[in-house]
Amino acid sequence: MKNLLPVAALLLGTLFLFLGNGLHSLLLPVRGTTEGYSTTLLGLLGTSWASGFVLGCVLAPKVVQRIGHVRAFSGFTALLAIIALLTGLLVDPVWWVVLRAVTGFSTAGTSMIIESWLNERATNESRGAIFSLYIAITLMGVVGGQLLIPFGDTSTALFFMICGIVYCLAMLPTLLSTAASPQPLKQVSMDLRGLYRNSPISFLGILLIGISNGAYGTLGAVFGRQAGLTDSNVALMMSTTIFAGAVMQFPAGRLSDRIDRRYVLAALSCIAAVAGLSIFLVEPSSVLMLMVLVGIYGATANALYPIAVSHANDFATPEDFVKISGGLLLLYGIGTIIGPTIGGPIMTATGPYGLFMITACAHVLITIYAIFRSRMRAAVPASERDAYSVVNPGTMATPESLQLSPRAAPFDEEGEQEPDKDGKAVA
């Protein structure tokens, strides 16, 4: 507890930030479906947000460098609150798509500032606890925000106002903190050729995971409403996939430490594909059956990203962890731009259940390519692998969260771990 108390205010701000993110991200497609907006337009909400988020990961460090952490954080959070209120006033799909890009950009900026602040305050003894708690808080915030939907009327401006209030609350802990501003934010370059040479299955797999998760994350709520689910059941369905994926990460990760990670990727992708195809072909009328299948899908699909990252790091030197993981993170962002863009028109042509045809195709390709690559390259021996570590899924993470990870310990020029300020070797 003594290690966590110095960052308690920042973690509280993180909770409010992701509470607002979870509520706003689900509110827009639910309200948009009520208003009769086309699936293609609603899909562009996800494309716009992901584009803004990726751009934010690249440009936000420059903004922070010019005006400082506190002012930048206040500005980004103010934009989030303003846009949440504007989307309640301007109930128009074109405006929503434009404003959603600013939300994605601002979310990347606020997240990176919080993560850099946590990284600055973390010690060798507290880094692991802070990193794990940070991941848990982000997931709890998103799920908590989504589960607010059943307690109000989505056809009014109520939830948009709640989003604005929550975002303003997220601003207060950082503004009132007396901690010194952290070091400048890190900028991550993406070497696509180097990423592919390092691990072809991680490269292609994470792109496909981004396409699948981006399509479902944006259009899952649209699918639920068009399939006849109530707002309460839509919120439960979306939260179930996130929660199931979080629970599945630990056993799947530990299994991948013992056997070839590509086999684990293939198995999980195959199960996710079967679950998606079952929903697409059967079109279950029972809410319980749908929830069970969606839970299986979420548990397997959301466990793929960290395993693919771990596999890439198996073939990289420890000091390249941030570079490799950051490049894969931005590659995932490209996938989340593609997924909703193609998902909307396909759902328009095939019906709401066509969403799971998209995810199934992506997961089938991952399964086939993972098995193919396992025949082309020997696995790294278990004793030499980079130990699996839970990471935030996709666009809930930024390059700064990689710096916070216990695996991102600083190395000297000779590749040895540098001692911390107390003279102890970094763990």
Predicted confidence (pLDDT) per residue in 10-22, tens digit: 788 889 999 999 9
Residue 268, pLDDT score = 95
Region 321-339: what's the mean pLDDT? Answer: 80
Region 110-123: what's the mean pLDDT? Answer: 78
CATH H-level, domain 1-187: superfamily: MFS general substrate transporter like domains (1.20.1250.20)
The pLDDT tens digits of the residues spanning 360-371 come to 999 999 999 999
Region 129-152: what's the mean pLDDT? Answer: 85
Least confident of 105-114, 146-155, 261-270, 390-399: 390-399
Give yes or no for residue 31 having a pLDDT over 80.
yes
Average pLDDT over all residues of the chain: 83
Please, what is the angle between helix 304-314 and helix 261-282, to 10°?
Answer: 160
Q: Give the side-chain half-sphere CA count within 13 A for 394.
A: 30
Which residue has 């941030």 as its token pair? 322
The pLDDT tens digits of the residues spanning 167-181 come to 999 888 777 766 666
Q: Give the side-chain half-sphere CA count within 13 A for 81.
A: 18
Whether residue 49 contacts residue 58, with contact meaning beta carbons closer than 8 Å, is answered with no
With residue 383 as reference, give the H or E element that holds it.
Answer: none
The pLDDT tens digits of the residues spanning 402-417 come to 666 656 654 443 444 4
Please, which contacts does 135-139 make with residues 24 or more away whose CB atoms are closer than 8 Å? 135/390, 135/391, 135/392, 137/11, 137/14, 137/15, 137/18, 138/14, 138/18, 138/392, 138/396, 139/242, 139/243, 139/246, 139/392, 139/396
Tokens of 421: 């300020």
Domain with CATH 1.20.1250.20 in the chain: 1-187, 189-392
Could you give phi then psi for residue 388, rounded to 5 degrees? -60, 140
Res. 388 pLDDT band, cuts 50 70 90: low
Give yes or no for residue 393 having a pLDDT over 60.
no
Q: Which sign, positive or negative, has the C-alpha torsion 112, 315, 336, 231?
A: negative
> How far apart are the C-alpha atoms of 328 and 298, rounded to whole Å?
21
CATH class of 189-392: mainly alpha
Higher pLDDT pick, 339 / 314 = 339
pTM (predicted TM-score): 0.83
Which residue has 């751009």 as its token pair? 55
